[in-house]
Amino acid sequence: MRMNLLMTKLLTVVLLSLIFALPLQAGSLPDFTVLAEQNAASVVNISTRQNSNKQQMRQFNMPEFNDIPEGGPLGDLMRKFFGEHGFQMPEENPQKRSLGSGFITSDDGYILTNYHVVDGADQIIVRMNDRREFVADVIGKDERSDIALIKIDAEGLPAVKIGDSKNLKVGEWVLAIGSPFGFDHSVTAGIVSAKGRNLPSENYVPFIQTDVAINPGNSGGPLFSLDGEVVGINSQIYSRSGGFMGLSFAIPIEMAMDVADQLKARGRVSRGWLGVLIQDMNTDLAESFGLDRPRGALVARVLPNSPSESAGLQVGDVILEFNGTKIHTSSELPPLVGRSNVDEPAKVKILRNGKERTVKVNIGELPPEDAVQLAGTHPPKVSENRLGMMVSEVNEQIRKKYQLSSRRGVVVESVTGQAAREAGIQQGDIILSMNNIGVEDVPQFNKLVSELPADKTVALLVHRNTGPIFLALRVPEG
């Protein structure tokens, strides 16, 4: 009996060893050959030419001189001037070329690419898979989404099949075709690493993150699903070396097509706008606002004459849902608002003073320039408090520079204690509210501070050079 048991165990070990020793079957991995063959003709190489003379002349605020006669007195004078002052003489036929990719979206010559591929170009040259070349016209471009729509004069072109990135799953295989470093129609593959990724410089694009090898020249090229549908436009990478490091980002195709349709129809893009400045919630802030966990978008400022001001949104409101979509992080809100129809109402669920309520906001159109002017001029310090900071009054000059609606708040002159330092309070901050109670002046601020319960977390709203922000401060004992 014991012998039979030993033989059984030995046979099991031998069988397992044989199984793991077998080579990985090719059928267990996707075959990209058909997908690449079917779509290669729909992907184009894009090169641009820019007159560098214009750039040099603009750099020195000089007029542009065209067609300077070679060997003439003006040419000699220009060469002498540039040479004696250490500048390089502008070339006679300067052309700056940049390389990117694009893909055909319709058989009559419309092509999608990135804004940064064609921005500033004097001429755009599209090279097809069969080596034909066309000069393209810009139909429209949108910097916020990094999308450009161009067109070539051709018919019967092979167009890609447009898909939907919403159906993508994390871990799914995807394929990119482009021209990295000018190597036309290179194919690389990888998986979807994450969805809805928001980058600091791109508030309105929920990027698809992949580990597909993307390098300079891939920009504007398509990202394909295994079904052969375009699900994104390869836009940028995260890299410390300038080359691929496993972090690539693609614009969702449904957003790109919406932008393209608007550019084709009217040459510009319209986006929804709430008119609030928001920030993310952390554990301490969530506790101070009565949330069980960090979630939502915290309103740090309501801009004047904005849809949010008209709807009654307030600083300190936490936006939990937008038109029925839950907001887990603040970065999820701008793309939702941006895709909303202008002049149509939206339901916004907020948390205010510990209670949830729904507010209707009539969505406005995002202005061309959405910036808040901030400054930091401070009068002499006047008071110190138990939170560990020296504060002073807000004068009229500060009020105007910070665009404050009234002379409320106190200015942090210096940070002297541990509690303020750990909260991230900085010199020059203007404290506008504490636990959703507006700060009027130094005496009232000190009174609020004296009434704070020890070892509790409170939320401070401050203005600083980077914009309004809530900070969570734990009140020290004593």
Domain 161-266 matches domain 383-474 at the CATH topology level = no
State both tokens at 187: 């194919």
Kindly name the residue from 219, 225, 331, 392 that is annotated as catalytic: 219
Q: Say which residues have a Cβ less than 8 Å from residue 113's Cβ, sequence separation at least 6.
A: 46, 100, 101, 102, 103, 148, 150, 219, 220, 233
Catalytic position from the list 52, 106, 108, 116: 116
The neighbouring-strand residues paired with 357 are: 350
Residue type, 404: L
Rounded-to-integer distance, Cα 101 and Cα 180, Å = 9
Alpha helices in 89-231 (DSSP H): 115-118
> Coil, strand, or helix at residue 18?
helix
Q: Residue 223, class by beta-carbon neighbours within 10 Å (0-12 exposed, 13-18 middle, 19+ buried)?
A: buried
- CA proximity to 166, closest of 31, 325, 275: 325
Domain boundaries, the chain: 161-266, 272-365, 383-474
Catalytic residue among 101, 142, 145, 146: 146
Location of structure tokens 């907001």: 327
In the annotation, is 219 catalytic? yes
Q: Select 383-474's CATH number: 1.25.40.80, 3.40.50.2000, 2.30.42.10, 1.10.10.60.
A: 2.30.42.10
- Per-residue model confidence (pLDDT) at position 24: 46
Write down the pLDDT at residue 347: 96
Give backbone dihedrals phi and psi of 262, rounded to 5 degrees, phi first.
Answer: -70, -40
DSSP three-state, residue 417: coil
For 124-128, the CB contacts below 8 A with 24+ separation are: 124/46, 124/47, 124/48, 124/150, 125/46, 125/47, 125/48, 125/49, 126/44, 126/45, 126/46, 126/102, 126/150, 126/152, 127/44, 127/45, 127/46, 127/47, 127/184, 128/41, 128/44
- The CATH T-level fold of domain 161-266 is Thrombin, subunit H (2.40.10)
CATH of 272-365, one of 3.20.20.70, 2.130.10.10, 3.30.70.580, 2.30.42.10: 2.30.42.10
CA atoms of 463 and 103, how far apart (whole Å): 45
Residue 363 to residue 360: CA distance in whole angstroms: 9
CB atoms within 10 A of CB 448: 19
CA distance 192 to 211: 7
- Cβ atoms of 198 and 184 closer than 8 Å: no
Half-sphere exposure in the Cβ direction for 416 (13 Å, CA) = 13
d(CA 131, CA 111): 16
Q: What span, in angstroms and rounded, lies between the C-alpha atoms of 225 and 164?
A: 9
Chunk the chain into consecutive blocks of 10 residues (it has 478) and report each block's average pLDDT, rounded to whole numbers: 60 56 58 94 92 49 42 48 47 62 96 94 93 95 94 96 94 95 92 87 84 93 96 89 85 95 91 90 88 91 89 93 93 90 94 93 81 34 66 74 71 79 83 86 83 84 83 80
Distance CA 194, CA 208 (A): 6
Confidence (pLDDT) at 173? 97
122 has catalytic annotation = no
